[in-house]
A and B are shown apart, each in its own frame.
Chain A
Amino acid sequence: MPLSLLLLVLAVLSAFAYRFGTGRARAIAPGRQQATLHSRPTYHGFYVALWCGLPALLVAVAWVAMQPILVKGLVLAGLPDSYSALPEARLNLIWNDIRNLALGDVVRAAPAPEIQAAAETFRRLYTIGQAALAVLCLVLAPLGARYAYGRVSRDLRARNRVETVITVFLVASSLVAIFTTIGIVLSLLFESLRFFGKVPPLDFLFGLHWSPQTALRADQVGSSGSFGAVPLFTGTLLISLISMCVAVPVGLMSAIYMSEYAHRKFRAVAKPLLEILAGIPTVVYGFFAALTVAPFIRRLGESMGISVASESALAAGLVMGVMIIPFVSSISDDVINAVPQAMRDGAYALGATKSETIRNVIVPAALPGIVGGVLLAVSRAIGETMIVVMAAGLAANLSFNPLEAVTTVTVQIVTLLTGDQEFDSAKTLAAFALGLVLFCVTLGLNIFALHVVRKYREQYE
């Protein structure tokens, strides 16, 4: 039975259990006597339904998490001895073959007989596992419901029990965010450590040459790629810098115009329009950058006699800047509106013009908040992926010329991890090391920026 069907059946069973629970409670205390129940009948219903669905669901989740690991162990143990001596990476590839074969995917022609046998075992174990799970769940659910049904009585504190379960669910939900962070840190750290086992961290962080092509066979020339990430860092910085040169002045000036000058009607139209820019998917920006902006800049350069790379940093940076404009402008807008009116009044009463008030009083007063917002925007630019994947280059040039093609950290992560390769090569692991750097830098920027912004807000509260 497929998992989704099983879950559906459990849901239906729980719904029935709910009906039985409420029915029983009403039977115990019919009509006017309902007040003699400790909890209202619906709570008894939920109580029975939870006993019906929850144990079975927990078993199903544990089963689904454990089954692949068990099956893998059993299948690999069943292979001839010659296989168990193989290195883990090789074994993983064979495992993939077995799984693909068993699940009916296309694999290399004519697999070895022992592989075919293993696939057969896999298929058998898999089917048995699924069936066992279904039987187990379908037994557990009625049993649980029966137990709870028997306990329904005047004195059963059904409401408290149900509320306890809900509270546990609430607490567990709020832990998901924590586990996500832990998961990110652990997975990045773990894979990066494996990478640093192959490439020294200092070579990675300070090396000037990046060419991650590893050879397929150990005896090939240049089998170890070089993993000096400095060109990626400079490329990322260059593109982020260009994007900030667009986003900060335009975003800030738009925010100022919106909040200080614009007529109410103009604002009502222009503000949502600007926000549309924030809602456009980055892949669309990437397409536009690669297909329209980059060729335009190239032609423009040619007409002025300057040679421009077709994947210039300028094109990617410009478009990324436009993408970030609404972000900068909405943060600046918040920050500017947080400056007390008294500050404005003070300047106006001295006879300052609007722009003098803005430039000399409001912007300096809002500066910490604006700086915080810009740092958040920088962290966005550094982590932005699709625009640079589509519009920036792949070659790692150590260059600060915006007209040349440079590559970025995110571009390299994508190139290293898309396409077929084994998971354990230095090349794939390098992507995780880059991911770790990206994570640390953006996290640092975010924490610092949020701190600055919060301090700023407290100042005026």
Chain B
Amino acid sequence: MSEMTVDTPRGGAGTRALVAAGIGRRYRAERRFRLFGLVAIVSALVFMVLLFVSIVGKGYTAFLQTEIRLPIHYDVQTIDPQGLRDPVEMRRANYGKLYRDALHEMFPDVESRGDRRMLNGLVSSGATFEIRDHVFADPALIGKKGEVWVPASDDVDMLVKGNVDRNSPEHERRMTDKEIAWIDALAAQDRIETRFNWRFFTQGDSREPELAGIWGAVSGSFLTMLVTLVLSFPLGVATAVYLEEFAPKNRWTDIIEVNINNLAAIPSIVFGLLGLAVFLQFFGLPRSAPVVGGLVLTLMTLPTIIIASRVSLQSVPPSIREAALGLGASKMQMVTNDVLPLAMPGILTGTIIGMGRALGETAPLLMIGMVAFIVDVPHGFSDPATVLPVQIYIWADSAERAFVERTSAAIIVLLTFLILMNAAAVYLRSKFERRW
């Protein structure tokens, strides 16, 4: 054997036979290897699909909310006994009594205190404020009767949406048989319906899942992102321009460069610690404020923008620079008039990607108190606020079953924003991409 392989000149049958003998095994290994690669990609994609399906499947129902139609009697005695129409007095009136009376009227045979409380619990406590708002919007209603849709409590909502199994033993579910019977009775009168959940998009946070909305968090995210964009874009572009176009290549700029690369890889939570120690403790800026969140996210996003901008500036060919300088432009004029406009699409793409990352960032904002429970929608940069991802985190931590659905819905909203931003980046890149 050895003689054939080593000493046969001009190839020869021996070598050929040996090669042929191994070929089947080698091709099997080849196919196996290729399959591993395919399996790797497919499993990653399957995981992604599972994630999306699971979240959309859990979350889409939150865009609908179960409501109950009640025949409300806008009782003068309750709302405005003196008949003065004084807004201060009227605001203090017990509007909850109105819907409780309506419920009691519909189910007169519910007598015991416990049962009465259970019955009233079908309707969300938020109904009180909605009825009040109706009265304030149209004071002529006082003394009249009218059908009003009010939000049902989260437990009713879950039952109607089928998230609670009616057939499970009574002690294993949050709804008693009695409550289910009432709900069925209401349903039989067409008094229960799932309607579009506008509260989810217009309200701030709430302890009651059926009243909780993302508007507060979306506003907070918007304000925070505005601060981040206003600070990080000029700073990032300026740094990139300086390092690419003006800085001498020496130790000092080397340090800056290494430093930026390392900043890009520092865990985001460390930026949160920085924000806590420097912005809150040292400078005494307010906790939970979008301005502080924006500052922290700026520091975190800067490296991304700087690196993307530098790459974009590098791709502008030197001939353009030489042409501008040759015509007598100053270096600054060359940069602002010729180089920057050409590099701008790449810089914008990098900025959008950086902003997308900042929009989804949670950990550093927990450090600066944006995790507080905040009901009011923020209107200024120093109002206490939270942001969408943190809202998701807060809801994910809540015990109520109904918050799972809200959390998933908030995730759908967040992902929609991110997808839109990324689509914009992809569009920019494909529209303005230039090959030199």
Contact = CB atoms under 8 A, between A and B. Distances in A.
A184 B274 contact: yes
B302 to A, nearest CB: 6
B101 to A, nearest CB: 33
Contacts of A276: 48
A370 interface: no
Given A383-B266, A386-B363, A270 B26 contact: no
Nearest to A163: B332
Interface stretch (A108-116, A145-153, A279-287): A279-287
A69 B396 contact: no
Given A270-B45, A287-B396, A414-B363, A281 B414 contact: yes
Contacts of A291: 54, 58, 396, 404
A417 B302 contact: no
B362 A253 contact: no
A443 B270 CA distance: 11
Contacts of B39: 253
Q: Of residues A355, A384, A418, which shows the largest number of chain B Cβ atoms within 10 Å of its Cβ?
A: A355
A438 B270 contact: yes
B37 A176 contact: no
Contacts of B19: 351
B302 A431 contact: no
Given A72-B284, A273-B45, A442-B266, A288 B51 contact: yes
B149 to A, nearest CB: 31
Q: How large is the interface on A (under 10, 10 to 19, 20 to 34, 35 or more residues)?
A: 35 or more
A226 interface: no
B283 A68 contact: yes
B363 A176 contact: no
B389 A281 contact: yes
Q: Is the interface of A mostly helix, strand, loop or mixed?
A: helix
A283 B51 contact: no
B30 A274 contact: no
Nearest to A446: B265
A176 B392 CA distance: 31
Interface stretch (A136-144, A217-225, A255-263, A299-307): A255-263
A8 to B, nearest CB: 12
Interface string B368-380: 0001000000001
Contact of A286 (B367, B380, B393): B393
A174 B256 contact: yes
A119 interface: no
B276 A417 contact: yes
A417 B367 contact: yes
A353 interface: yes
A261 B30 CA distance: 11
B281 interface: yes
B411 interface: yes
A268 to B, nearest CB: 12
Interface in B352-411: 356-357, 359-363, 366-367, 371, 380-381, 389-390, 392-393, 396-397, 404, 407-408, 411
A224 B360 CA distance: 37
Contact of B238 (A174, A191, A414): A174
A280 to B, nearest CB: 7
A178 B284 contact: no
Interface in A298-331: 322, 325-326
Contact of A385 (B40, B259, B268): B268
A177 B302 contact: yes
A383 B306 CA distance: 22
Contact of B362 (A191, A283, A443): A283
B422 interface: yes
A191 B277 contact: yes
A355 B29 contact: yes
B286 to A, nearest CB: 8
Interface stretch (B60-68, B83-91, B129-137, B241-249): B241-249
Q: How large is the interface on B (under 10, 10 to 19, 20 to 34, 35 or more residues)?
A: 35 or more
A170 B246 contact: yes
Given A187-B277, A254-B41, A277-B44, A413 B411 contact: no
Nearest to B276: A417
B82 to A, nearest CB: 31
Q: Of residues B30, B36, B418, which shows the largest number of chain A Cβ atoms within 10 Å of its Cβ?
A: B36
B342 to A, nearest CB: 18
A240 interface: no
B414 A385 contact: no
Contacts of A358: 33
A184 B300 CA distance: 12
Contacts of A389: 363, 393
A453 B306 CA distance: 20
Given A253-B36, A322-B47, A356-B26, A290 B396 contact: yes
A363 to B, nearest CB: 11
B110 interface: no
Contact of B330 (A159, A285, A286, A351): A159
A22 interface: no
Contacts of A166: 332
A371 to B, nearest CB: 16
B261 A174 contact: no
Contacts of A2: 380
Contact of B40 (A254, A292, A443): A254
B94 to A, nearest CB: 24
Nearest to A162: B332
A435 B363 CA distance: 13
Given A173-B235, A279-B360, 12 more contacts: A65-B283, A163-B332, A175-B256, A181-B263, A250-B43, A254-B41, A274-B44, A287-B408, A291-B396, A353-B26, A354-B33, A383-B270
8 contacts: A65-B283, A166-B332, A177-B256, A283-B392, A287-B408, A382-B267, A390-B393, A439-B270
In the A-B complex, list the 4 residue pairs whose CB atoms are closest, starting with the nearest: A383-B267, A257-B37, A281-B360, A187-B277
Interface of B: 19, 26-27, 29-30, 33-34, 36-41, 43-45, 47-48, 50-51, 54-55, 58, 234-236, 238-239, 241-243, 246-247, 255-256, 258-263, 265-271, 273-274, 276-278, 281, 283-284, 299, 302-303, 306, 330, 332, 356-357, 359-363, 366-367, 371, 380-381, 389-390, 392-393, 396-397, 404, 407-408, 411, 414-415, 418, 422
Interface of A: 2, 4, 65, 68-69, 72, 159, 163, 166-167, 169-171, 173-178, 180-181, 183-184, 187-188, 190-191, 249-254, 256-258, 261, 270, 273-274, 276-277, 279-288, 290-292, 322, 325-326, 351, 353-356, 358-359, 376, 379-380, 382-386, 389-390, 410, 413-414, 417-418, 423, 431-432, 435, 438-439, 442-443, 446-447, 450
